[in-house]
Chains A and B, each alone.
Chain A
Amino acid sequence: MANLTATESAGRVRPKLGRDDWAMRGLMVAIGLYLIVSLALPLYAMMSKSFEIYAYQPQLIEFQVNEGQGWRPVLNALDLGEELGVLKRGELVTTADGRLQATRFFPDFSFLSETRYRIRNTEPASGGFMIRGTRIVHDEWVEYSSGDFRRVTLRPGISTGLGNYLSYFSTPALFTSIYNSLTIALISTLVTVSLAFGFAYALTRSSMPFKGAFKAIAMVPILVPSLLPGIALIYLFGKQSLVLKVLQWMFGEEAVAGLWTSLIQGAYGPTEIYGPIGIVIASVFFTFPHALLIILTAMAIADARLYEAATALRAPKSRIFWTVTLPGARYGLISAGFVVFNLVITDFGVPKVIGGQFNVLAVDIYKQVIGQQNFQMGAVVSVVLLIPALIAFTVDRFVQRKQVAQLSARAVPYEPKPNRRFDNLMLSYCGLVAVFILGVLAVCQYAALIKFWPYNLSFSLNNYNFDVMDGGGWEAYGNSIRLGFYTAICGTALVFLGAYLVEKGRGFGYGRAGFQFLAMMPMAVPGMVLGLAYIFFFNDPANPLNGIYATMGILVVCTVTHFYTVSHLTAVTALKQMDPEFESVSQSLKQPFYRTFGRVTAPVCAPAILDISIYLFVNAMTTVSAVVFLYSPDTTLASVAVLNMDDAGDVAPAAAMGMMIFYTNATVRLVHAFLTKGVLTRTQAWRGR
């Protein structure tokens, strides 16, 4: 008996939760809910929109006519329409705004006649008909004089199905974009990763001078919107090519003209800068730093002992390259490849500016939504664009996990030995890349500062007179800076707190796994898709959050969510490096979690917190893709202004605004570097010993 009670008392222990546990779980759920509302629900709204089909339902509409001799027999609109050739069964699909005039069913209609008409919608829940903007919602006969009847229109009804997808895949103009996007992304990926690998190789394996400067220059493209390289290419190789002008000046007009037309400018050949070539060059420009950072990390962990062993075995340099360097960097290369692929395929700025007639998915979404107001089709393209982005994202996560495992292995850092020829070779390579990057900026700055290329080359600040141009003027620039600060402050607080709760919370395994998943999701969602999803979700009058639509608020929410994942991962990495027992000690000393968070965790992670805030600021300044659907006349942004001015043909002012973004970001970066140094020396005196 005694034994029995003993075993019973040995039943499972259900840990009692303390105040901290409840508070931390509550906060984590709150941030999780934020991610659900700002990401999962909008995506869901977009998905369901893509299955919504708008079609006329004439089979449900009946007419009766009275020409003075009493009411004639009832006519079904579908039968009547088919008889008259007004409409065909199976071709009734239209858009949400589609309207069909009732008078089209009566070819000899005259609004001056005495004829009276009756119309009835047999199914009140269907699209039915309307007059002067008022929908008739009952199923009774309504009688109109001919004068009124001409104002009656049939509305489409909504149904769900694969119709939008079917029409997408049966429209070559649309689905060829899939092929275009994939090709462009693939080529850009190959080029960028190769170039970045060479650059990283020079930085880690040679002892050339100016490494710091080269690395800084390589990071410059992060500071500008992806529209800018497109603009620079237009100046360099477009109709009024700067390169051509320089060549002509150097070699004489005739000598160059023929060759140039056939080779570079070739409005006749596939080499025109507007189109795939321009997209690839500009994409390489803006994805280069992203690839470089990943590959550098992978190569920095190379183990010197392997090199020593290989050298001791008298392996030639080329052999070492193929057997040691390349395999060591392989996860970095693969990971960089997928990241670049994802960036290019989801980018909107580059193909918008320089894509010409070459259609890609991201621009299609924009065209469908802004150009044709066909939101359903925009949603379909978005879903299509989600698929490659999701695949690239998943593979990248998988590879990164492997890389981390490799990183934790103990390695001795490699110290390159000087080798004049090799170092000079690497130096000239890096020099070329640096010239390309700085050249793009220089061209934009030059274009912004001259009066009217190529006819009036005198300097002026006219192009900075943004207020007289379409796009939002200087106010847009101010808005962008506000957006940057709001995003940096709110985003950093939200992200870091979320990462802290998920890393340092106790128990609640499922909740934390769920939160991790939510935090990873934003990276898989292209900006254009996110922006469109926000229209569907927040612009719905039935949504209680409808109030933030068309405000600065929705731009902040959208930007924070768009860039959530990378920030989250930065925070998690920093938190993982902290001793997990800080929390245990605090609990044993009966201190609430927020005190440890405020006094220890946050100060120790200050460098990471600054990194996150600068990342969010810079991206808020340069992003176009998500916010292009969400700004209102009061909240135009600098990056969107670049887009709109370029669209309106004001290319020079667009370049000027783009450079303003660059200078702002560069300044903020410098301040950040300064602050980080200050923080490190002041609050982190303990780091150095």
Chain B
Amino acid sequence: MRIEHLSKMFGDFTALSGINLEIHEREFVCFLGPSGCGKTTLLRAIAGLDIQTSGKIEQAGLDISALPPSERDFGIVFQSYALFPNLTVVKNVAYGLENRKLPRGEIRTRVAELLALVGLGDQGDKYPAQLSGGQQQRVALARAIATSPGLLLLDEPLSALDAKVRVYLRHEIRSLQRRLGVTTVMVTHDQEEALTMADRIVVMNQGVIEQIGAPMDIYRRPATAFVADFIGTMNFLPGVAEGPDRVRVGQVVLACDAGDAEPGAQVTLAVRPEDIALQDVKSSAENAFEVEIGSMEFLGSFFRAELADEAMADTRLRADWSINLVRRHGLEQGQRLHIALPRDRIRVYPQSSLHG
């Protein structure tokens, strides 16, 4: 599936612009972005429910840009599930199978198979309102895959559920998708969901794609400051480029890959809290300097320390350290210590790109 130069206007408002994207066979792709960034709009364009203003969509080599939904090949699950309230679970799932000249017996077998697949084999005669949210979600899923579509579209399928059910269903959906081998696009604003489920993530912001890549890729090497900020936690340090591999923050000069930043240009450095390494006092490692622990916060499975030093002017660094490490080094508030920012974990962005 290919999307080229796609854009969508609602009157004067540009909801999507210049979207280029390729989705491979059997892949699980997540559209991730803050709410209102156009994820649903893109999904609905792919479905043909709200056709794009311009641009092209190809599926299996065919141009489907202008086709109505009924002439495309997809199954869809909405945030609301849109289960038919007056039909039983069995009839909901069978809905797309009827009217296709299939023998009744075959439909019955197929529905039973699907319900077993989503773990609802014994709930077939209930009405949707008699099921829990998670069960409803699975009925919607079974209905969407009943006709074996070539593409499965999921719009925030888990966002209406409790945290526990959500985590459980993530795995369910993912393993189901693997088993069926159906190409899947899922919309979500929950980065954890995207990071754990997707083969590839499409990070979107204000109607444009910021980055496309595998979860680890996006986490490790965010292409833009927006992605860096949106995914995970990130320290941002204002700096001035001093050469192709040197950036000064306050009085500290850090070795890093400054890319094509001109010497003297204002840049923003980004480093993840968990990448901040604790150094031995006498160490002369690269990018090592001394800071003071401003505060320590226990976040359940790790400590988050806030680090500051005159040398770095007003900038504060957050560092995530394991309980183990904190205990071993006896770290506490007010303590001074040496840290290092590993060179290959520092990303440099032009200054204007964040909050710009």
Q: How far is A9 from B47 in the complex, measured between Cα atoms in Å? A: 20
Q: Does A97 contact B (CB under 8 A)?
A: no
Which chain A residues lie closer than 8 Å to B7 at the CB level?
Answer: 10
Contact with A along B155-197 (1 / 0, CB 8 A): 0000000000000000000000000000000000000000000
Q: Which residue from chain B places its CB closest to the CB of A602 in the assembled complex?
A: B86
Q: Which of B70, B78, B85 contacts A686 (CB 8 A)?
A: B85
Q: How far is A588 from B151 in the complex, measured between Cα atoms in Å? A: 11
Which chain A residues lie closer than 8 Å to B129 at the CB level?
Answer: 686-689
Flag the segment in A13-21, A196-204, A397-405 that touches B: A13-21
Q: Does B67 contact A (CB under 8 A)?
A: yes
Q: Does B117 contact A (CB under 8 A)?
A: no
Q: Which residue from chain B places its CB closest to the CB of A579 in the assembled complex?
A: B82
| Given A6-B5, A600-B86, A686-B85, CB of A588 within 8 Å of CB of B130 | no
Tell me the number of A-to-B contacts counted with CB atoms below 8 Å: 114
Contact check, A584 vs B47: say whether CB atoms are below 8 A apart: yes
Q: How far is A599 from B143 in the complex, measured between Cα atoms in Å? A: 16
Interface positions of B from 121 to 151, Cβ below 8 Å from A: 127-130, 143-144, 146-147, 149
Contact check, B86 vs A588: say whether CB atoms are below 8 A apart: no
Q: Does B75 contact A (CB under 8 A)?
A: yes
Contact check, B144 vs A588: say whether CB atoms are below 8 A apart: yes
Measured between C-beta atoms, what is the minimum distance from A366 to chain B in Å? 48
Which chain B residues lie closer than 8 Å to A595 at the CB level?
Answer: 99
- Consensus secondary structure, chain B interface: loop
Q: Does B65 contact A (CB under 8 A)?
A: yes
Contact check, B67 vs A581: say whether CB atoms are below 8 A apart: no
Q: Which of A12, A604, A683 contacts B53 (CB 8 A)?
A: A12
Q: Which residue from chain A places its CB closest to the CB of B78 in the assembled complex?
A: A581
Q: Which residue from chain B places its CB closest to the CB of A21 in the assembled complex?
A: B68
Q: Does A394 contact B (CB under 8 A)?
A: no
Residue from A7, A18, A579, A590 with most neighbouring chain B CB atoms (10 Å): A590
Which chain A residues lie closer than 8 Å to B96 at the CB level?
Answer: 588-591
Residue from B48, B49, B69, B87 with most neighbouring chain A CB atoms (10 Å): B69
Contact with A along B1-43 (1 / 0, CB 8 A): 0001101000000000000000000000000000000000000
Contact check, B86 vs A13: say whether CB atoms are below 8 A apart: no
Q: How far is A578 from B72 in the complex, measured between Cα atoms in Å? A: 24
Contact check, B127 vs A686: say whether CB atoms are below 8 A apart: yes
Contact check, A584 vs B82: say whether CB atoms are below 8 A apart: yes
Q: Does A297 contact B (CB under 8 A)?
A: no
Q: Which of A582, A591, A600 contacts B99 (CB 8 A)?
A: A591
| Interface size class of chain B, counting residues whose CB lies under 8 Å from the partner chain | 35 or more
Q: Which residue from chain B places its CB closest to the CB of A603 in the assembled complex?
A: B86
Contact check, B82 vs A581: say whether CB atoms are below 8 A apart: yes
Q: Which residue from chain B places its CB closest to the CB of A14 in the assembled complex?
A: B66
Contact check, B69 vs A588: say whether CB atoms are below 8 A apart: yes
Which chain A residues lie closer than 8 Å to B149 at the CB level?
Answer: 588
Contact check, A585 vs B76: say whether CB atoms are below 8 A apart: yes
| Given A686-B130, A689-B129, CB of A11 within 8 Å of CB of B54 | yes
Contact check, A10 vs B143: say whether CB atoms are below 8 A apart: no
Q: Does A248 contact B (CB under 8 A)?
A: no
Interface positions of A from 644 to 689, Cβ below 8 Å from B: 683-689
Which chain B residues lie closer than 8 Å to A11 at the CB level?
Answer: 54
Contact check, B65 vs A13: say whether CB atoms are below 8 A apart: yes
Q: Which residue from chain A places its CB closest to the CB of B66 in the assembled complex?
A: A16
Contact check, A9 vs B56: say whether CB atoms are below 8 A apart: yes
Contact check, A683 vs B86: say whether CB atoms are below 8 A apart: yes
Contact check, B5 vs A588: say whether CB atoms are below 8 A apart: no
Contact check, B76 vs A686: say whether CB atoms are below 8 A apart: no
Q: How far is A368 from B80 in the complex, measured between Cα atoms in Å? A: 59
Q: How far is A581 from B155 in the complex, measured between Cα atoms in Å? A: 12
Interface positions of B from 184 to 242, Cβ below 8 Å from A: none
Q: How far is A14 from B5 in the complex, measured between Cα atoms in Å? A: 15
| Given A11-B54, A16-B68, A587-B69, CB of A600 within 8 Å of CB of B147 | no
Q: How far is A603 from B69 in the complex, measured between Cα atoms in Å? A: 24
Contact check, A20 vs B68: say whether CB atoms are below 8 A apart: yes
Contact check, B143 vs A585: say whether CB atoms are below 8 A apart: yes
Measured between C-beta atoms, what is the minimum distance from A683 to chain B in Å? 6
Residue from B65, B82, B98 with most neighbouring chain A CB atoms (10 Å): B82
| Given A585-B82, A588-B144, CB of A13 within 8 Å of CB of B99 | no
Which chain B residues lie closer than 8 Å to A12 at the CB level?
Answer: 53-54
Which chain A residues lie closer than 8 Å to B54 at the CB level?
Answer: 10-13
A sample of 22 cross-chain residue pairs with beta-carbon separation below 8 angstroms, ordered by A number, consists of A9-B4, A9-B56, A10-B4, A10-B7, A13-B66, A14-B66, A15-B66, A506-B68, A579-B78, A579-B80, A581-B80, A585-B76, A585-B144, A587-B68, A588-B96, A589-B75, A589-B95, A599-B87, A603-B86, A686-B129, A687-B129, A689-B129
Task: Point out residues on B near A: beta carbons under 8 Å.
Answer: 4-5, 7, 47-49, 51-56, 65-72, 74-76, 78, 80, 82, 84-87, 95-96, 98-99, 127-130, 143-144, 146-147, 149
Supply 15 further A-B pairs (C-beta < 8 A) apart from A587-B49, A588-B69, A687-B129: A9-B56, A11-B54, A13-B54, A17-B68, A18-B67, A21-B68, A579-B78, A582-B84, A587-B70, A588-B144, A591-B98, A591-B99, A599-B87, A600-B87, A683-B86
